[in-house]
Amino acid sequence: MPHVVFTGNLQRHVQCPPCEVVGHTVRECLEASFELYGGARGYVVDEHGALRAHMVVFVDGQAISDRQCLGDAVEENSEIFVMQALSGG
Amino acid sequence: MANTLLVATRKGLFIIRRSMAGMWEIGSVSFLGDNVTLALADVRTGTWFAALDHGHFGVKLHRSMDSGATWEEVGVPVYPEPPEGLEEIDSMGRVVPWKLKLIWALEPGLATQPGLLWCGTIPGGLFYSEDNGLTWTLVRSLWDDPLRKQWNGGGADFPGIHSICVDPRDGNKVTVGVSSGGVWQTSDGGSTWACKADGMRAEYMPPELAYDPNIQDPHRVVQSPSNPDILWAQHHNGIFRTTNGGQQWEEIRNVPPSVFGFAVAVHPADPEIAWFVPAIKDERRVPVGGAVVVTRTRNGGHSFETLSNGLPKSHAYDLVYRHALDIDRSGSRLAFGSTTGSLWVTEDGGDHWQTVSQHLPPIYAVRFAD
């Protein structure tokens, strides 16, 4: 099952430890994780479901390309990391 | 008289309390390290609200029923999906996001409207909640007004509603101030709106557009509780006042040391008394001569006093933002905070000021809590 890990910085606001979920896309996996940790949704995606502007999701080490619909494919044993995007500084 | 002050800063919400000895001291801090952009103490219920902007994680709203001992996250205003295929472009050529960027105004309804809150946001949506902030609804009548698309924004990238005045005589009559979008008013609880900025002057526009109501840039609008037909505005290039509920504004000129600023407060019992915190106008935005002062009129703007007792006299570069000046219900206690983390309180209407701190994080808003 895909494994979802949320940035440690998010834990200060919402408890969302690593979890195993069922899904074939990033959207499906994140939605499944939000079922477990409802409070995390608004911190990761905006009101229209797009990835927040300064967040980034890696699937097996690759930043996803579809930040709007989160349609990137996820494999059975994928590692999904939900992180803050850093840009300099 | 209020004995508690909420101070929203770049690094937390500081709770300031007045000691028995009359000293204002930092009592506690909530959300330490987080960007608290606005605070509200609802006089109807005693509920405190704190708006946060987490940057990466978005805008959040929290409320406390126990004076800050505990907080719970509640809902935030949610913009609808724009119509299919619509890409709204503003006059600067930017795509206007139908997404919450900042909670910029938060005010309660009247005591006869329990649970009602109003919220102004960037990029320009006005919202209301009927359940004490749990859920929010966009005021579509204002958002869909074609003139709204002409709003420009000021220092922020997109326009925003920073001031909400609920008429104490009639909770359906609401006036809002918009950055580079004038002053708007409803008399039917938000079903219909009209721009009410006639008489305001924008010296930063070409002469033929200078009096266009919809491009005026009020920095802050406040309404007299004792005579709600009188409203005061600290505008981008001046001080304005209306005595007929916004039908016509009058410019008040020649206020030393400057008519530029962001904040204004009006006395709760006397509409002729108002306070401002001036600065060198927009290209510099620092106190005139490096001296922090407050200006006060007692006669409706005919004359002003410059108040400086207890405030820094030189090499002070404090700027006071639009929500960072507040007055309590007695009218004698005021507080203001600055971008450089200074906080001052007066208990005599501004004649003398007490320095609470000069080392707080940048201050965005101060609100008396009781």
Q: Predicted confidence band at B108 (pLDDT cuts at 50, 70, 90)? A: very high
Query: What tokens does A52 get?
Result: 């927040």
Residue B154: predicted pLDDT: 66
Residue A89: predicted pLDDT: 57
Q: Predicted confidence band at B156 (pLDDT cuts at 50, 70, 90)? A: confident
Res. B91: pLDDT tops 80:
no
Residue B163: predicted pLDDT: 98
Partner-chain contact A47 B99, CB within 8 Å? yes
Q: Predicted confidence band at B152 (pLDDT cuts at 50, 70, 90)? A: confident
Partner-chain contact A46 B76, CB within 8 Å? no
Q: Who wins on pLDDT, B351 or B83?
A: B351
Q: Quote the CA–CA distance of B363 and B319 in Å, as a whole number.
A: 9
Residue B93: predicted pLDDT: 80
A54 touches chain B (CB under 8 A): yes
What ipTM goes with this model? 0.87
Tens digits of residue pLDDT in B122-144: 999 999 999 999 999 999 999 99
Res. A87: pLDDT tops 70:
no
B71 touches chain A (CB under 8 A): no
- For residue A69, the distance in angstroms to the closest alpha carbon of chain B comes to 14
Which class is A3-84 in CATH? Answer: alpha beta
Residue of B35, B54, B56 for testing the chain A interface, max A β-carbons within 10 Å: B56
A10 touches chain B (CB under 8 A): yes
The residue of chain B nearest to residue A14, with distances taken between CA atoms, is B73
Give mean pLDDT, residues B51-57.
Answer: 95
Tens digits of residue pLDDT in B241-290: 999 999 999 999 999 999 999 999 999 999 999 999 999 887 789 898 99
Domain boundaries, chain A: 3-84
A85 touches chain B (CB under 8 A): yes
Residue B84: predicted pLDDT: 86
Residue of A41, A47, A56, A83 for testing the chain B interface, max B β-carbons within 10 Å: A47
Tens digits of residue pLDDT in A15-54: 999 999 999 999 999 999 999 999 999 999 999 999 999 9
**Strand order across the B117-122 sheet:** B102-108, B117-122, B126-129, B137-138
How much is the mean pLDDT over chain A?
A: 94
B157 touches chain A (CB under 8 A): no
Q: Quote the CA–CA distance of B137 and B78 in Å, as a whole number.
A: 7
- For residue A66, the distance in angstroms to the closest alpha carbon of chain B comes to 18
Q: What are phi and psi of B135, to 5 degrees?
A: -135, 155
How much is the mean pLDDT over chain B?
A: 95
Q: Predicted confidence band at B175 (pLDDT cuts at 50, 70, 90)? A: very high
A69 touches chain B (CB under 8 A): no
b/e per residue A34-56 (b: at least 16 CB within 10 A): beebeebbbbbbbbeeebbeebb
What single string gives the DSSP state of each residue in A20-49? E---SBHHHHHHHHHHH-GGGHHHHB-TTS
Query: What tokens does B46 get?
Result: 């005693």
* Lowest-confidence region among B83-92, B122-131, B220-229, B361-370: B83-92
Chain A residues inside the 8 Å CB shell of B56? 9, 52, 54-55, 84-85
Residue A80: predicted pLDDT: 97
